[in-house]
Amino acid sequence: MGWRHLLFANWPVDPAVVAAQLPDDLTVETYDGRAWLSVVPYLNVDVRPRGLPAAAGVDLPELNLRTYVSRDGEPGVYFFSLDAEGFLGVVGARLFHRLPYYYADIEIAGTDRGIAFTSERRHPGASPATFAGTYEPVGDSFVPEPGSLAAFLTEHYRYYTTARDGTLRYADIDHEPWTLRPATVTIEANTLFEANGFDRPAGSPVCYYSRGVDITSSRNRRWE
């Protein structure tokens, strides 16, 4: 698949706040002593099983709330929630990837003010969650330097998740390094934090934009 028109909107928070919401198997990763919660809207393009041509894929907008973790020194991303269009895709991701996907009505469109993104969760029995915002790049493009905050917030190539029986699972992601630009965002509505048991972080987020990368994912595996 490909990821396109991504916003990484990142808020620093107390590591203890994040640790309280994580599985015991995972450790909070910090930058300058702070944990981070990131809201990431974007468009999935050409989503398809490995081996099929791009023409067989579908385009699906997605929105996630994530943080940064490690297990035995192996860093990765942990998703608190992923809202997505496409009911069958959501069901498949829950069954085969053990990720906390939720069905949502999502619209993404280019406007004269940037990328407009709206999401309203429709998943039966799930906590309500909405997001509405507009974001745009405002600076020159760059590749994050190793050890920088931008690299910490974007350059992760593994995600962790837990199965229904509580076992830790993971998958590895392969793509080219991110090319980013500084970004601005205007948020009209955002209840993702409350829907996942967090207080809304104070202050403005650190924001980056990317036109995107093409990615492949390994199968979801149990941590041994």
**One digit per residue, pLDDT tens: the chain, 224 residues?**
789 999 999 999 999 999 999 999 999 999 999 999 999 999 988 654 555 555 545 678 999 999 999 999 999 999 999 999 876 566 555 555 668 889 999 999 999 889 999 999 998 888 999 999 999 999 999 999 999 999 999 999 999 988 878 889 999 999 999 999 999 999 999 999 999 999 999 999 999 999 999 988 888 888 87
Strands, E assignment, 26-148: 27-28, 35-47, 58-71, 74-84, 101-111, 114-121, 130-137
Tokens of 38: 């990131």
- Cβ–Cβ < 8 Å for 104, 122: yes
| 50 Cβ neighbours under 8 A, 6+ residues apart | 216
Summarised one tens digit per residue, pLDDT across range 66-77 is: 999 999 999 999
pLDDT at 47: 57
pLDDT at 46: 61
- Domains of the chain: residue spans and CATH: 2-222 (2.40.400.10)
pLDDT at 50: 53
- Cβ–Cβ < 8 Å for 185, 7: yes
> Across the chain, how many H-helices and E-strands are there?
4, 14
Cα 89 to Cα 94: distance, rounded to the nearest angstrom: 9
Q: What is this structure's pTM?
A: 0.91
pLDDT at 85: 86
pLDDT at 56: 45
Summarised one tens digit per residue, pLDDT across range 96-107 is: 566 888 999 999
pLDDT at 117: 98
- Cβ–Cβ < 8 Å for 41, 6: yes
